Structure 1
């Protein structure tokens, strides 16, 4: 039976059946941390560790992580007059997830015009709509060079402890390289795609062939390089890849062209739409690159995908199409001009626009999604020659249950005679032994196993960072967050002065363009630090009242239309484990990403730093409320 013969109720029943196959009682515990289980697999394959002397100095601002977060915060702080800024990074260079992820075919899946930060500041034009990993990495290095962020950076360095010293009003930072230095301010930007994970498959440690995670791609073994050179050393190799998520959608096409035999082990298929990538025309780029252009493009994308009613769609891609379909269904019968007028009136009255009737919104989402998925499933039939393989590659869930994928090369790869899809019907690989893998009761002998098993996206702060933070009075951040995350704006924590966290939770929670979250946080951090330094304040932190009020606001966020608990399990919905209070505290602004960014724009424009407490050494100076 094909998808086109199913009615709406039958499709929903099919979704529920497929979800039930994949639910596991161990949830996120089914995975193994790469560093813990296989430290040799977690080692840096890209750059050797250089010997250096331990650092024992003082800096104004130290930032853990040299990905987009550390780079953009550093750039904005340099502009704000902070010259002594230090990056601390476990990798050998800047780039964060793009330093590590050099697998073949790696690209951004959000348009580079809005994904690459500081394009206007650096004067750089992306070569394509969706650029390759090496170009992204080069842009990171461009930012670091332009803003002098290499000057005090510590690479191949992991933090052991960060502890607040009340008497000196500084953070003391100690690392695995023997460093022991202090900083007035500390920032964290370890990111959601930072800690690689492995599937907890029995016997995983017994395999005698070659194995690696996609974030530690071994080109010495495969041949080729991140720039796309052929992986000629795989010509006589039988290769298994476990996982069919966003990474696999990108790296399977080049693997299929290189390996003697490729076995793709699938638990849950991805939904794969067209990509339509193309070069960026320099003449066109010059015509749109007027002052403020990138902010306008980023704002337009979030208005299209994060809760607005846009007049135009500058990006015009698969992401904006998803939102446009839902918006058109939700506004059915309401002229666009009238909907926009209603929002302007509410803003003029300084009220939040009324949220659409939840039933109407859910109905619109469901209708739009069913239509879209009924296009994507037949697309598989049209591309994949073998009917049995095509049927197994169809995604039976709502498109936004998992991160949607876009590729013009992935599905055709399964027409190659050397590529075999091993669908496990939701169960996953049964076990691994010395010579290969067992799935569906059959043994597959291979020379190499590649784990495309993703990252600890929903991991707690301590797991992502690799250390705990000790604040005022010796309180550990893991203890303070023991019953759930507590922040103001997802960025600052009461009892942890001069500390800033750059991430998505309790903020915009905008997963469709993660750099937008970073760019916005960096503006706020720079403004706060500039104010504190200009006025001679030694501490800044949120008041308890402001933090409580912000968490209470976050808890009003209802179950998301994206990756709801009803979805097939995945990292977007807590592996299907439900929305308990602790998980709900990791959600974003109840009005959605656009509402959060609008709130922060107003907060910064007001200039009164509402909710923050500034203090000078020896005497208190308040901005809003007393420290409790």
Structure 2
């Protein structure tokens, strides 16, 4: 397949090569694109990502307190010393979420982890689960089908209770994996790796770690060493808040959704009856994917709920259902390899890569949103010539493909929300790929309740905070409790540098800083899993890979590829020697060129409503040099299935081209 032969305005070319007059459909599409552009312009700010404060960088007691772990059992953790200062392990994994767990298990299955001292894990949380450890807000569910999202279901034999699992079940599954594969006594919780340095003489990584031990204990400084350093720090892991003047001086209860405070709301994660809110005026900032789940819960309990919106979300039906044990046994989990097969079927339907008559196994809203391929790529359209005409034609094709999905979501608002003015403010005027789509059968309905008030800021955001509430358009809204549903640091931070996402300083060969390398040249990897100058360092998911709505599939693909490279490398040096594995500068640059060649496909993201996908709108303002550097961080525009084929061909060839292996 090739891209549609359309002009930038969507008008088709005639047989003689001259543009035909635009059709009524073309004109309608042009008007829609103009409306999208006008709405996006409302959000443009000169400060871009700097409008937010990462809670890890907070210098006030109020914000530092908000960032603290509310869930850790410090007494129990302090009573156990799982990792000793000065310990050396074969693998040190940064991250105890699904990525870190998958790294450990797949390396075990590859025969690379053999003894109890071969692997150690480090995580800032007080337990396993990653985002599912931190996030425990009422209403929390995964927005991807649990049968393909929850890793290692075949290995654990677990059957999810529902099509979309609640956060508690997802965290429990992480704990299940850790228990089954005996990882608890190998993990250092409440700990942050501050620096990692390659020791050229020892051919080991030296990692400086700070272990927090709770409010009444001094922290512990450790120096750990490892042969392989593996980064599995997740995508959205550092919560941030908008720099609203006076926010830290708000006099009521205030917390971030990633650190839900049940002492302020009442109830608990297991029983979220928020009875303390019955006489309270509650405000929530943000209407993204997290808020979609929280707002119906707050609406049920709060005396008054004020929803402060900058950009509305597109909200599609959820269609939750319980898992049928018979269907699970006979149709879903009926054969070996079913989970990856189902996950790739999901990818195929999202990226326009299905074969004739291929059954839609997941059959949900994601798989009926073809224009989301603008974000994750498509094998039929991924190669776009870097000309204004070709890029414009591809953007027009995507907009045309998205029209039905977007208009259906806006029509659904009118069908549900009774107040016309409120309904109009809840409609999303941007394409489906610009902001993560949401799915709920409760969110829009909440705005029919008399205690729920939408404060739409028309893209501008809140002006200020006082000790008594929030101010917009010169009006103060008094509040007793303020919920910050304001998201996380962008995964594009540091040009996609995996180390920057964790806040760790990584120094490779010859004192080379990974921060400096990424700053100077932009992303540079082989297959998105490793970078030259940093031996034995691998990422669970970095830039220059393929994407999909299901993050666990991305983890699986990159981790299994890394396990293959390491297994072949260890085989090459033989027993009794330590392998030093490093990608070459030439081959990572060749891969980067392949990625950059595909970057024009993603041009539709640049004009999106400002958000973490386009650097809060700064992508459109970059000079050519910065745009070229940013294009190095692009994904694989031909989609996940194409990317997997490239990796499989590389593995079949067998020579580890572009990877130097030496024995220490």
TM score, norm. by length of structure 1: 0.90
1:64 Cα deviation (Å)? 0.5
Alignment of 1:466-505 (within 5 A): 466-483=503-520, 484-505=522-543
- 2:344 aligned with 1:299: yes
Mapped partners of 1:603, 1:150: distance in 2: 35
Which of the numbers 167, 178, 194 marks the counterpart of 1:133?
A: 167
- 2:286 aligned with 1:240: no
How far does the alpha carbon of each residue in 1:426-485 deviate from its partner, in whole angstroms, 9 at most, with x for none?
100000111110012210110111110101122224542122101111111101111311
How far does the alpha carbon of each residue in 1:286-343 deviate from its partner, in whole angstroms, 9 at most, with x for none?
013111100111111111223513322111111110128989xx99xxxxxxxx9xx8
Which of the numbers 40, 50, 66 marks the counterpart of 2:65?
A: 40
Which of the numbers 647, 652, 656 marks the counterpart of 1:609?
A: 656
In structure 1, the residue matched to 2:254 is: 211
Structure 2 portions without partners, runs of 5+? 1-24, 211-219, 621-626
Q: Secondary structure at the match of 1:481?
A: helix
Which of the numbers 366, 382, 389 marks the counterpart of 2:399?
A: 366
- 2:619 aligned with 1:594: no
Q: Secondary structure at the match of 2:85?
A: coil
Is the Cα contact below 8 Å between 1:238 and 1:259 reproduced in 2?
A: yes
Mapped partners of 2:467, 2:451: distance in 1: 23
Which of the numbers 572, 592, 607 marks the counterpart of 1:566?
A: 607
In structure 1, the residue matched to 2:567 is: 530
Mapped partners of 1:394, 1:353: distance in 2: 30
How far does the alpha carbon of each residue in 1:139-175 deviate from its partner, in whole angstroms, 9 at most, with x for none?
1111111111212110011112111111110011111
In structure 2, the residue matched to 1:57 is: 87
Which of the numbers 232, 252, 261 marks the counterpart of 2:304?
A: 261
- 2:417 aligned with 1:384: yes
Alignment of 1:375-454 (within 5 A): 375-454=408-487
Is the Cα contact below 8 Å between 1:306 and 1:592 reproduced in 2?
A: yes
Q: Secondary structure at the match of 1:276?
A: coil
1:228 Cα deviation (Å)? 4.7
Mapped partners of 2:281, 2:464: distance in 1: 18
Is the Cα contact below 8 Å between 1:304 and 1:324 reproduced in 2?
A: no
In structure 1, the residue matched to 2:598 is: 557
In structure 1, the residue matched to 2:581 is: 540
Is the Cα contact below 8 Å between 1:325 and 1:368 reproduced in 2?
A: no
- 2:272 aligned with 1:229: yes
Q: Secondary structure at the match of 1:63?
A: strand
Which of the numbers 231, 234, 238 marks the counterpart of 1:191?
A: 234
How far does the alpha carbon of each residue in 1:61-94 deviate from its partner, in whole angstroms, 9 at most, with x for none?
0011111110001001122231321110000011
Mapped partners of 1:492, 1:113: distance in 2: 29
Mapped partners of 2:603, 2:154: distance in 1: 31
Is the Cα contact below 8 Å between 1:164 and 1:171 reproduced in 2?
A: yes
Computed over aligned residues only, the root mean square deviation of the Cα atoms, in angstroms, reads 2.3
In structure 2, the residue matched to 1:28 is: 49
Mapped partners of 2:604, 2:262: distance in 1: 35
- 2:124 aligned with 1:90: yes
Structure 1 portions without partners, runs of 5+? 332-339, 344-351, 618-628
Is the Cα contact below 8 Å between 1:222 and 1:234 reproduced in 2?
A: yes
In structure 2, the residue matched to 1:346 is: none
1:120 Cα deviation (Å)? 1.1
Q: Secondary structure at the match of 1:251?
A: helix
How far does the alpha carbon of each residue in 1:234-266 deviate from its partner, in whole angstroms, 9 at most, with x for none?
111111100000000011110110111110000
Mapped partners of 1:326, 1:474: distance in 2: 40
Mapped partners of 1:399, 1:11: distance in 2: 13
Is the Cα contact below 8 Å between 1:488 and 1:546 reproduced in 2?
A: yes
Q: Secondary structure at the match of 1:596?
A: helix
1:528 Cα deviation (Å)? 2.2
Is the Cα contact below 8 Å between 1:192 and 1:455 reproduced in 2?
A: no
Q: Measured at CA, do residues 45 and 354 of structure 1 come closer, stay the same or move farther in structure 2, by a change above 3 Å?
A: closer
Is the Cα contact below 8 Å between 2:524 and 2:592 reproduced in 1?
A: yes
Mapped partners of 2:33, 2:384: distance in 1: 26
1:284 Cα deviation (Å)? 0.5
Mapped partners of 1:407, 1:202: distance in 2: 33
In structure 2, the residue matched to 1:275 is: 318
- 2:597 aligned with 1:576: no
Is the Cα contact below 8 Å between 1:133 and 1:226 reproduced in 2?
A: no
Q: Measured at CA, do residues 421 and 577 of structure 1 come closer, stay the same or move farther in structure 2, by a change above 3 Å?
A: same
1:17 Cα deviation (Å)? 1.4
Is the Cα contact below 8 Å between 2:286 and 2:308 reproduced in 1?
A: yes
In structure 2, the residue matched to 1:624 is: none
How far does the alpha carbon of each residue in 1:101-145 deviate from its partner, in whole angstroms, 9 at most, with x for none?
111111111111111111111111111111100000011111111
Is the Cα contact below 8 Å between 1:437 and 1:443 reproduced in 2?
A: yes
Q: Secondary structure at the match of 1:599?
A: helix
Which of the numbers 140, 149, 157 marks the counterpart of 1:106?
A: 140
